């Protein structure tokens, strides 16, 4: 794919081809074309610029003040839930929130996700954001929903909005999403963010992916097959120093203890990025992490100029504002 760049009025680079997210629901990163991504990135940048301009917060808060969104979370969340809810408030939406929905909703009585969604449809929300421990269940919800459904993470399946903010972070560091070497490390067997990032980067030319993990936590075959089908090269590495060397992006993940099968409970955690690891990285590389972090990146790494994981989390607010704005404006 040839990408032509032009300089916008605010001196930021965007590829000169935009598309529209044609899908009512956001269930998988597979739905997004490169055109969709750049359209969303442009909307994100405009919202961010407006937010920081004089009177911008008040202007944004008027956009959707007669509309409501619902966050339906069956799993714990800090960044995803709070950034979606904050994004809603800052755009003027009313926000109806259900935390620990598996325990404090009718799901605890045996209600199916399909029936829950059919009921919520009657409340005329502009969007329903769902996180659930079961892989594929958000797709089931979308099949019966009349309201836009957003997947905020389904088991070990996907986390599409995380990969949107991840690629937004990468784009604004390198001004491109092609011709990059991306290291994805840690628990690749259970980590949905790693899966989504690998899939989205396969949409762009000449990217190379280095999967770094123990053999017991290696990436699933379906992701490797997806990369092959999309002509994206990859390698699997068990040495952390080799894994981070010569990479533009180092994307690290934690051990997903909540998703381990009983026989996996004794597995060692992902490799640890320490201050010593930094010397093997390129000077212009960036270090990313979807968070939460446990111990897989030492806290003494935080002061390194290549660290982006807190900026990355901050980008989540504006990307999710743009996504809600786009879905609710249809």
Per-residue pLDDT at 18: 29
Per-residue pLDDT at 21: 37
- Options 159, 192, 208, 289, the catalytic residue: 159
Which backbone phi and psi does 264 adopt, to 5 degrees?
A: -100, -5
Known active-site residue 43: no
pLDDT band at residue 124 under the 50/70/90 scheme:
very high
Is residue 17 over pLDDT 50?
no
Kind of pairing between the strands at 13-15 and 5-7: antiparallel
pLDDT band at residue 3 under the 50/70/90 scheme:
very low
Q: In what order do the strands lie in the sheet with 68-73?
A: 94-98, 68-73, 127-132, 149-154
Per-residue pLDDT at 51: 94
Per-residue pLDDT at 112: 92
User: Mean pLDDT in the chain?
Assistant: 86
Known active-site residue 109: yes
The arithmetic mean of pLDDT across residues 285-308, rounded, is 94
The arithmetic mean of pLDDT across residues 248-263, rounded, is 75
Per-residue pLDDT at 111: 82
Known active-site residue 118: no
Known active-site residue 131: yes
Per-residue pLDDT at 259: 54
The CA–CA distances, whole Å, from 197 to 97, 164, 188, 192, 255 equal: 27, 8, 11, 9, 17
| Distance, CA of 29 to CA of 134 (rounded, Å) | 17
pLDDT digits (tens, 9 = 90+) for 147-175: 999 999 998 888 899 999 999 999 999 99
Question: Which domains occur in the chain, in start order?
Answer: 5-159+314-328 (3.40.50.1370), 160-309 (3.40.50.1370)
Is residue 45 over pLDDT 60?
yes
| Distance, CA of 108 to CA of 245 (rounded, Å) | 48
Kindly report whether the peptide bond that precedes residue 220 is cis, defined as omega within 30 degrees of 0. Answer: no
| Distance, CA of 255 to CA of 275 (rounded, Å) | 20
Known active-site residue 289: no
């Amino acid at each position: 794919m040839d990408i032509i760049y032009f300089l916008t009025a605010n001196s930021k680079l965007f590829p000169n081809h935009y598309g529209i997210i044609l899908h009512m629901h956001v269930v998988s990163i597979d739905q997004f074309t490169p055109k969709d991504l750049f359209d969303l990135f442009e909307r994100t940048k405009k919202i961010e610029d407006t937010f920081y301009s004089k009177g911008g917060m008040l202007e944004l808060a008027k956009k959707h003040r007669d509309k409501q969104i619902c966050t339906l979370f069956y799993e714990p969340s800090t960044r995803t839930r709070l950034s979606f809810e904050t994004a809603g408030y800052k755009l003027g939406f009313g926000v109806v929130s259900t935390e620990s929905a598996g325990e404090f909703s009718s799901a605890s009585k045996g209600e199916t996700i399909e029936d829950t969604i059919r009921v919520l449809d009657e409340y005329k929300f502009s969007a329903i954001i769902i996180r659930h421990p079961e892989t594929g269940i958000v797709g089931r919800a979308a099949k019966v929903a009349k309201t836009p459904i957003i997947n905020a993470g389904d088991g070990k399946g996907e986390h599409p909005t995380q990969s949107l903010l991840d690629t937004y972070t990468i784009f604004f560091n390198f001004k491109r999403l092609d011709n990059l070497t991306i290291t994805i490390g840690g628990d690749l067997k259970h980590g949905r963010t790693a899966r989504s990032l690998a899939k989205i980067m396969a949409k762009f030319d000449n990217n190379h992916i280095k999967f770094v993990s123990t053999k017991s936590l290696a990436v699933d075959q379906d992701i490797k097959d997806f990369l092959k089908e999309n002509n994206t090269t990859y390698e699997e590495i068990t040495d952390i120093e080799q894994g981070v060397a010569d990479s533009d992006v180092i994307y690290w993940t934690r051990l997903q203890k909540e998703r381990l099968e009983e026989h996996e409970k004794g597995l060692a955690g992902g490799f640890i990025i320490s201050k010593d690891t930094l010397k093997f990285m390129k000077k212009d590389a960036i270090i990313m992490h979807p968070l939460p972090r446990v111990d897989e990146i030492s806290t003494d790494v935080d002061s390194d100029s290549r660290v982006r994981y807190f900026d990355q989390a901050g980008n989540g607010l504006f990307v999710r504002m743009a996504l809600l704005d786009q879905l609710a404006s249809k």
